[in-house]
Structure 1
Amino acid sequence: MSELRVRDVTLYYEEHGAGTPILCIHGTGGSAGGWGGALDELAARGRTIAYDRRGHGRSERPEPYELTSVEEHADDAAGLLRGLHATHAVVIGRGYGAEIALDLVERYPGLVRALILLEPAILTLTAEAHSWEGALVDGVVLAAGAGGPAAGAESYYRRVLRDEEWDELPEELRSTMLGNAPAVLAELKGGPSRPDEGALAQLHKPVLIVSSADSPPVFRAVDEVLADLVPGAVHEVVLGPAGPALPEVLGFLDGLLDGRDQPGYENA
């Protein structure tokens, strides 16, 4: 078990492998443990760092913890990379973690070599998706008001993952995710991220965006918009979960680490 004081919280992190830094940023309600066996695949390729974001799992949860933002988590990620002397990193973000990765590269470009975004689903990029997100948040708030934070978090997971996928998750994993309910609500109350589209158009780093064909259609739609905004971004749509051990992800990563970055990308 390793911990590092970053800004105003203590963050739990794990390191696997050696070489080029690879930072894994989990999604809403997740943890470092949620990357599972994919960490072995990643660690065979570089120094893989997975951590519990503030308010999640084994990391410190500020009290009270009622509100957070993508920017706050990106500042934490930057502090972690600097504290561990782990720059210039390939950053893999899942869900909300992908939004954090985008904000990280926008405000701390010198810390990041490339991005792998697993279902970033930035729902402010289209009016339809933004409306869908508003209905989602309203439902979560109602559920939390009636049954407490865990009920609100479960409402969120069932809407995003769908009932069948949520019910099929291992009991231990569902328990962990529900234990992070205060963090889930704090993220939703913090509001959606709004990336600077002008900055995205000037992002000259390798970017892979992976969407799942099984996810809500609004997710894929906004991922397509994001891919169009980022010069040279690669967008893959896969069957099943958009996970970090997919051949599309590992192939992209192998290309980076073998020095096959495309000409024109910033590598410093």
Structure 2
Amino acid sequence: MATIAANGTTLYYELRGSGPPVVLISGAPGDAGFWPELADLLADEFTVLSYDRRAHSRSPRPENWVTTSIDEHADDTAALLEALDLAPAVAWGHSGGGLVLTSLALRRPDVLRGAVFHEPAFFTVTPAGRAVVEGLQGTVADAMARGGPPLAMELFLRWADGDEVYESLDPAFRDRMLGDGEVLFGMEMELSLSYLPTPDQLGGLAVPSVVLAGADNRDPDAVLHGLYGAAQWTAVGLGAPLVETPGAHVPQITHPRELAALIRPILTRLAASAPVDA
């Protein structure tokens, strides 16, 4: 198991392939287990880095660590890239990882060549997203009362990824994520819902960017239609293209081959971009 010291913590990471570097940032929970099949498919052309975010799964919780921020997670990503001598890289932030990527692109553009915002979890920018958050908060509160963080995490994953996806997950991966509930619901959820860049910040972001959104989530009746709206909002703010991916929120699990074929030329183009000064 590979770990490395970065930004005052220890991060578990996985490294595949060779070529231009691409770092994959998981959302909630921050486990690298969302990416192996897609990473393997891309490793013939890219150096693909994935990792467990601070205090998630195989990245241990730092001693006396009781609070965090999106900026702290972004600093972890920058430090990890620098520790592995992979900066500047293309960064792909999925869901809550899209928030981490936003902070990284705004504050440390020097470690990036490009950014892929994959249904970034800016739920509050649309009425549909705000309504979904209210329902989710009620579900999580009820689950915490009935079964604590593991049950809350299970229901969260079933909501975000779907029952069929949840049941298909590798049991070890699923068990790791069920153990991440204390950090997600106790420290990260509220700060994630409150993190939102201003239009001026998005408009001034100099890192070449692409936004991804699940084709199934375009349907107004989809559970995560609010994330499709968040992706549209992000693309408009960045002046970046919006590219539809197959399936819903986790095509890296449900449609890895189709996603790899779709994203490969995008990564190639972004990897050829010049880094931006901080």
Shift in alpha-carbon separation, 1:65–1:134, aligned structure 2, 3 A: farther
One-letter amino acid of the structure 1 residue matched with residue 212 of structure 2: V
Amino acid at match of 1:250: R
Shift of 1:226: 0.8
Distance 1:137 1:72, change over 3 A: farther
Alpha-carbon distance between aligned partners in 2 of 1:64 and 1:149, rounded to the nearest angstrom: 20
Alignment partner, residue 76 of structure 2: 76
- CA displacement 1:185-218 (0-9 Å, x = unmatched): 1321434221232111012332121111334111
- Are residues 100 and 267 of structure 1, via their aligned partners in 2, closer, same or farther at CA, if it must alter by over 3 Å? same
C-alpha change, 1:24 and 1:163, in structure 2 (3 Å) is same
Q: Which has the higher helix share?
A: 2
Q: In the TM superposition, what are the counterparts of 1:44-83 in structure 2 within 5 Å?
A: 44-62=44-62, 67-83=67-83
How far did residue 73 of structure 1 move? 0.7
Which of 242, 245, 250 is the matching residue for 1:235?
242
SS of match in other structure, 2:15: strand
2:137 paired with 1:137:
yes
Structure 2 counterparts to residues 1-268 of structure 1, below 5 A: 1-62=1-62, 67-185=67-185, 186-192=187-193, 193-215=195-217, 216-231=224-239, 233-240=240-247, 241-243=250-252, 246=259, 247-257=261-271, 259=272
> What are the superposed Cα offsets for residues 213-255 of structure 1, whole Å, 9 maximum, x if unpaired?
3341111111111111102x12112332332751221121123
Q: For structure 2, list consecutive stretches of 5 or more residues without a partner in the other structure.
A: 218-223
For residues 30 and 172 of structure 1, the distance between their equivalents in structure 2, rounded to whole angstroms, comes to 15
| Aligned positions, number | 262
CA contact (8 A) 1:13 1:49 kept: yes
Name the CA shift for 1:170/1:266 in 2 (closer, same or farther; >3 Å). Answer: closer
Q: 1:221 to 1:76 in 2, by over 3 A?
A: same
Change (3 A) 1:64 1:157: farther
Give the match for residue 221 of structure 2.
none
Q: TM-score of the superposition, structure 2-length normalised?
A: 0.85
What letter corresponds to residue 225 of structure 2 in structure 1? Answer: P
Cα 1:203–1:196, aligned 2, differ >3 Å: closer, same or farther?
Answer: same
8 A Cα contact 1:55 1:182, kept in partner: no
Q: d(CA) in 1 for partners of 2:229 and 2:92? A: 21
Give me the whole-angstrom Cα distance separating, in 2, the residues matched to 1:235 and 1:253: 14
Deviates more, 1:192-201 or 1:240-249: 240-249
Distance change (3 Å), C-alpha of 1:267 and 1:188: closer
Structure-2 separation of matches of 1:10 and 1:46: 24
- Scaled by the length of structure 1, the TM-score of the pair is 0.87
Amino acid at match of 1:248: L
RMSD after superposition: 2.3
The sequence identity of aligned pairs, in percent, is: 31
SS of the aligned residue for 1:214 comes to helix
Quick check: 1:55–1:65 contact (8 Å CA) kept in 2? no
The 1:177–1:25 alpha-carbon spacing in structure 2 relative to 1, beyond 3 Å, is same
Shift of 1:127: 3.8
